[in-house]
Amino acid sequence: MKIVRMRPYCTGAIWGGKKLKARYGKEADFDVAEAWELSGYPGKESRVSGGELDGMTLSGLIDTFGRGILGSKAKDGEGFPILIKFIDSAAPLSIQVHPDDKNAKLLGADGGKTEMWIICEAEKDAYIYFGVKDNIKPETFAEAISDGTITEKLNKIYVNPGDTFFIKAGTVHAIGAGITLCEIQQTSDTTYRLYDYDRVDAGGKKRELHIEKGKIASCLIPPDHFYEKGERIGNENILVTCDYFTVSRVDVNGKSCVTVGDDSFSSFTVTQGSGSIECCEDRLRLKKGDTVFAFAGAGELALDGNMTVIRSKL
Ligand SMILES: [Zn+2]
């Protein structure tokens, strides 16, 4: 066995939408804001879905088959290195920032968080906030947070399906309303909320802000690039390569082969269409929203059908 289908860990939020249940096959008795498709985060792990390993977590797979299934690029002694999510926003997410590795240590966080987004669906005029517009002084930044004008200092970008954003740790950002996206990130669950539009939850309570830590974690110069245009290698379009992950898009139209080498596991997430994935004697049917984890060294995999697949690896 070299490929397994994963079942996500799902969470709700005040901003969550209905699309992940309606269109991406996610199951929960609440509106799903985030589906953690590939997660080794303690207590929030995704699990194998179906087959003889049904219900097994990623750490269970590592215990059973050895750390070699992660590949030679995985660092020893650390947890599962990346986290892949679907996120669906009916309302905007807070203006937020994540620490880099250095600040995570300094601030006692569970890890740095560089992330990237691939927009799957966007309602008309949907937008994100992505980094500061201009160089900004710490005092001016602090003032804009406290008087609620922080959004005026940020790049507001209208988005379309297929757009890809690379969000280095420290970039102040927010997903706006009406967006469904696939996020690939370092394994970390640390978000510092800088501004939450003064909104309240069903119980009339505001969510906690983390302004002091957020100010330390925030990068006050504009991002050096907005998004990766992609470089084509064979049938794969490389979207982002960084120290933490390499993410590509495979457009499957008929049969397409990809190789999973000894250097890293690969994760395949379907953002559009349907088809199948085959490795040796194993064949899994795929539909929009599905994620398959392939062990490092799985070798040649055949993707078949008509679908868009996001491949993530180290
Ligand atoms: Zn984020």
Domain boundaries, the chain: 3-217, 231-313
Per-residue pLDDT reduced to its tens digit, 25-70: 999 999 999 999 999 999 999 999 999 999 999 999 999 999 999 9
- Tell me the mean pLDDT in the region 110-115: 94
Q: Calculate how far, in angstroms, residue 95's C-alpha sits from the geometric centre of ligand 1.
A: 9
pLDDT band at 225 (very low <50, low <70, confident <90, very high): confident
The string of DSSP letters for the chain reads --EEEEE-EEE--TTB-SHHHHHS----SS--SEEEEE---TTS--EE-SSTTTT-BHHHHHHHH-GGGG-TTSPTT----EEEEEEEESSPPPEEE---HHHHHHHT-S----EEEEEEEE-TT-EEEEEESS---HHHHHHHHHTT-GGGGEEEEE--TT-EEEE-TT--EEE-SSEEEEEEEES----EEEE-TT---TTSPPPP--HHHHHHH---S--S-S----EEETTEEEEEE-SS-EEEEEEEEEEEEEEE-SS--EEEEEEEEEEEEEETTEEEEEETT-EEEE-TT-EEEEEEEEEEEEEEE-
- Spot the catalytic one: 193, 199, 249, 311: 193
Q: Calculate how far, in angstroms, residue 56's C-alpha sits from the geometric centre of ligand 1.
A: 28
Q: Calculate how far, in angstroms, residue 1's C-alpha sits from the geometric centre of ligand 1.
A: 34
Asked if the domains at 3-217 and 231-313 fall in one CATH topology, the answer is: yes
**Catalytic (active site) residue 193:** yes
CATH top-level class of 3-217 = mainly beta
Percent of the chain's residues with pLDDT above 70: 98
Tell whether the model's pLDDT for residue 172 goes beyond 70.
yes
Q: Calculate how far, in angstroms, residue 173's C-alpha sits from the geometric centre of ligand 1.
A: 7
CATH top-level class of 231-313 = mainly beta
pTM: 0.96
